[in-house]
Structure 1
Amino acid sequence: MSKGEYTRLRIIELAAPIFNRQGYFGTSMSDIMRATGLEKGGIYNHFANKEELALAAFDYNMERRRELMQATFHRVHHAAERLIELADIFKEIISDSMIPGGCAIVNTIMEADDTNPVLKEKAIVAMADLRAMVGRILVRGIERQELRQDVDIEQATTKILMLLQGGIVISRLNGDDAEMDQVRVFISEFVDRDLRLA
Structure 2
Amino acid sequence: MKFTPRSESTRQQIIESTAELFNKKGYLGTSISDLEKATGMTRGSIYGNFENKEAVALAVFNYNWDLKRELLAEATRNKAEFKDKLYAHVLAHHPSTKTPFTPGGCPLQNTTMEADDTFEALREKAANGLLIWTKDLTNIIEEGIKAKAFKADTDVLGTSLHIVSLIEGAALYARSTRDMKYVKRLFDTARDVINAICEK
TM-score (norm 1): 0.91
Which of 10, 22, 27 does residue 24 from structure 1 map onto? 27
Which of 90, 94, 106 does residue 91 from structure 1 map onto? 94
**What is the Cα deviation at residue 93 of structure 1?**
11
Letter in 2 for 1:197: E
Question: Hey, what does 1:197 align to over in structure 2?
Answer: 199
Question: Hey, what does 1:119 align to over in structure 2?
Answer: 122
The one-character-per-residue Cα deviations of 1:8-38 (angstroms, maximum 9, x if unpaired) are 1111001111000001000011111001110
**What is the Cα deviation at residue 177 of structure 1?**
6.8
Question: Hey, what does 2:168 align to over in structure 1?
Answer: 165
* Counterpart mapping for 1:46-195 below 5 A: 46-91=49-94, 97-175=100-178, 179-192=182-195, 194-195=196-197
**Hey, what's the Cα distance between the residues in 1 that align with 2:150 and 2:126?**
30
The one-character-per-residue Cα deviations of 1:91-133 (angstroms, maximum 9, x if unpaired) are 3699573311110010011111111111111111111111111
Where has structure 1 moved over 6 Å in runs of 4 or more? none
**Number of residue pairs aligned between Structure 1 and Structure 2:** 195
**What is the Cα deviation at residue 57 of structure 1?**
0.3
Contact 1:91 1:177 in 2 (8 A): no
Q: CA RMSD in A?
A: 2.1
TM-score (norm 2): 0.90
**Hey, what's the Cα distance between the residues in 2 that align with 1:92 and 1:98?**
11
Corresponding residue SS for 1:100? coil
**What is the Cα deviation at residue 183 of structure 1?**
3.0
Gaps of 5+ in 1: none
**Hey, what's the Cα distance between the residues in 2 that align with 1:94 and 1:146?**
26
* Higher relative contact order, chain-length normalized (CA < 8 Å, sep 6+): 1
Contact 1:8 1:46 in 2 (8 A): yes
The one-character-per-residue Cα deviations of 1:58-93 (angstroms, maximum 9, x if unpaired) are 000011112101211112132211112212222369
Contact 1:16 1:61 in 2 (8 A): yes
Gaps of 5+ in 2: 1-5
**Hey, what's the Cα distance between the residues in 1 that align with 2:67 and 2:95?**
12
